[in-house]
Every structure is written in structure tokens, then in C-alpha cells.
């Protein structure tokens, strides 16, 4: 992470891409364990952590919130989703159709984040020239 408020947009995009990559791994594990008795699906929720962090800011515009936010709290981890819930006899709560849709959606999000980072770096290069 770059330690300057000037790069906070890039840092937020980087954190979001890391979380998206982690979510991709969690979804892949869910798909791999679709037939494992007792397995509970895993997930990652970056958006809620970002929302909480942005609400802490006293500034009104999104630009000011990002430029003045503390990004240390944006580290997310994998959690067990609906640990007590299961609609199958074997206590597994993974639905393969839902996981495949989530995987495709997450891959699109990740690619969008990477493209956004590339564009932000290109803008920074233009400013530096």
C-alpha cells in the first residue's frame, strides 16, 4: 500500500481487488466441497467493511471520504455463511448453481477492478510527465 492520501483511490481499488481474489478462492472452495457432508459455505464481504469505513468520515463528498479515510480497517477475511442453515440432509449448505453465478459475478468484478487500477495508474503517469 502506498502511504499518501494522493494514492488512496488506488489503495482502495487494491484492497477491493485483494478481497475479490479472496472471495474467488472461497467460492472455488465452496464448489470443490459441494458434495462434502457437513461443509458450510464460505464467503468474503468487502463492501460492508468499505461502507462502515466511509460512514466514519465527517466529510460529505465521496472524494473527500476516500482521500481522508483510514484504509487499515479494510482488511477482510473469509467467514462461514449461514453456519446453522442447511437445506440438505447431509448438513451441507452449498448450492452449486448459486456458487457458479457468484463466481462469474466475482470474476467480472475483479476484472473491472484491475482495469480501474490500470486507468488510475495511467492518469498518474500523465500527471507525472
* Alpha helices by DSSP H, the chain: 8-32, 46-55, 62-67, 96-128
Question: Considering the chain, what is the average pLDDT of its residues?
Answer: 84
Q: What is the pLDDT of residue 18?
A: 93
| Cα angle value 92/79/63 (rounded, 5°) | 140
Query: Do the strands 79-80 and 42-43 form a parallel or antiparallel pair, or are they unpaired?
Result: antiparallel
pLDDT over threshold 70, residue 66? no
* Alpha helices by DSSP H, 33-95: 46-55, 62-67
Q: What is the pLDDT of residue 112?
A: 96
Greater model confidence, 54 or 72: 54
Per residue in 13-37, pLDDT tens? 888 999 999 999 999 999 999 999 9
pLDDT over threshold 70, residue 5? no
Identify whether the C-beta of residue 92 lies closer than 8 Å to the C-beta of residue 34: yes
Say what the alpha-carbon torsion angle 117, 54, 107, 115 is, to the nearest 10 degrees. -10
Per residue in 41-53, pLDDT tens? 999 998 888 887 7
Per residue in 77-109, pLDDT tens? 888 887 777 778 898 999 999 999 999 999 999
Q: What cell was used for 37? A: 457432508
pLDDT over threshold 80, residue 6? no
Q: What is the pLDDT of residue 43?
A: 94
Amino acid at each position: 500500500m502506498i502511504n499518501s492520501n494522493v494514492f488512496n483511490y488506488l489503495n482502495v481499488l487494491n484492497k477491493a481487488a485483494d478481497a475479490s481474489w479472496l472471495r474467488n478462492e472461497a467460492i472455488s472452495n465452496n464448489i470443490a466441497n459441494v458434495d462434502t457432508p457437513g461443509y458450510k459455505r464460505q464467503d468474503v464481504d468487502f463492501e460492508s467493511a468499505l461502507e462502515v469505513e466511509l460512514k466514519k468520515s465527517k466529510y460529505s463528498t465521496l472524494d473527500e471520504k476516500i482521500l481522508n479515510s483510514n484504509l487499515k480497517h479494510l482488511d477482510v477475511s473469509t467467514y462461514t455463511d449461514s453456519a446453522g442453515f442447511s437445506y440438505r440432509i447431509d448438513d451441507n449448505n452449498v448450492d452449486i448453481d448459486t456458487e457458479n453465478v457468484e463466481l462469474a459475478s466475482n470474476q467480472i468484478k475483479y476484472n473491472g477492478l484491475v482495469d480501474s487500477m490500470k486507468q488510475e495508474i495511467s492518469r498518474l503517469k500523465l500527471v507525472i510527465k
